[in-house]
Amino acid sequence: MGRVLVTGAAGFIGAHLCQALLARGEEVVGLDNLNPYYDPALKEARLEALTGNAPPGAFRLHRIDLADTEALLAMMKSEPGIDRVAHLGAQAGVRWSLEAPFAYTAANVTGHLGILEGVRRSEGRIRHTVYASTSSVYGSRTDGPFRETDRVDRPASLYAATKAAGELMSKVYTDLYKLPLTGLRFFTVYGPWGRPDMAYWLFTDAMLKGRPIQLFNEGRMKRDFTFVGDIVAGVLAALDNPPADGGHRLYNIGNSRQEELLEMVSILEELLGVEAVRVLRPMQPGDVPATFADVSAMKRDFGWEPTTDLRTGLGHFVRWWRGHFG
């Protein structure tokens, strides 16, 4: 059995994926620059949690910026045991892309291209690469469910545009070099060890501290909330099944259920035993009103389907929060 390179290994989904790979006996090479987009201490804590249960030598981390192409390519060449890649590293966050646009082109365009080049230069040693895309590529829509065949040329944010660019570059590399690539469009991932910029985290923190919560679009946003455990199961299913023809594939990976942000707030109120003080705000630039995944292709090709409803998933998150923060 070879090794799996996981980019974004200290990130929310990346750390969960590393833990799942280690649990099934894989060796994992992690890559992360632990940037300060949010508190790096949380990223360090994720790494500590996943390495604490790993056998000696099963996990090692390279602290490299994806946009440092020379360092990235050198690392991929110096780790000859890597035979699969799970490329989850990216600059996330829709709203911050309005403030720091070049951080997004650096990580999501230059960084993604660096991974593709590293895979190409492996000359077939890396037999499959799964990479993270996003539901944001579908743009500002109120219909649904969204299907992989829908148009994605109307992004509502620079973040979405950079992730769509990654999909296009991947298709080009597959056509030119026959690289087996699978892109997964994640839909609003939540759960333990999550990201502090996400609504459920911000709401929980504010509610427990007696602060008001900000509800954009007056709380009428609809999201396909997807539990991180279901996401990881989908990534593993895709990683284990490379395209037979060496081609490029795209899949939605979501809960396939649309729920209002207000429903999330109501569930958190029950779980936390606190009533939220709600401040209704207008829609923010770059945000989209709704997401909704058609996941029939994931079910058809991998037998994967989500198993965690929003109430159960938020329950897992709240229990983790109380254990982590006290």
Residues 6+ apart with CB under 8 A from 68: none
Q: How many Å apart are CA 159 and CA 101, to the nearest integer?
A: 8
Amino acid identity of residue 251, one-letter, is Y
From residue 190, how far is each of 1, 79, 121, 222, 251 by CA, in Å?
31, 32, 35, 15, 19
Which one of the listed residues 37, 159, 173, 200 is annotated catalytic?
A: 159
What is the spatial distance between Cα 267 and Cα 273, in angstroms, rounded to a whole number? Answer: 10
- Residue 298 contacts residue 147 (beta carbons within 8 Å): no
Nearest to 111 by CA among 120, 121, 123, 103: 103
CA–CA separation, 156 and 140 (whole Å)? 6
Residue 246, phi-psi category: left (phi > 0), alpha (psi -120 to 50), beta (remainder): left
Which residues touch 310 (CB under 8 Å, ≥6 apart)?
225, 255, 257, 259, 263, 264, 267
Distance CA(60)–CA(85), nearest Å, equals: 15
Please answer whether residues 32 and 11 qualify as being in contact, where contact means their C-beta atoms are separated by less than 8 angstroms: yes
Are the C-beta atoms of 177 and 183 separated by less than 8 Å? no
Ordered DSSP codes for 153-185:
---SSHHHHHHHHHHHHHHHHHHHH---EEEEE
131 an active-site residue? Answer: no
Closest Cα to residue 223, out of 150, 144, 280, 131?
Answer: 144
Distance CA 33, CA 30 (A): 10
**Active-site annotation, residues:** 159
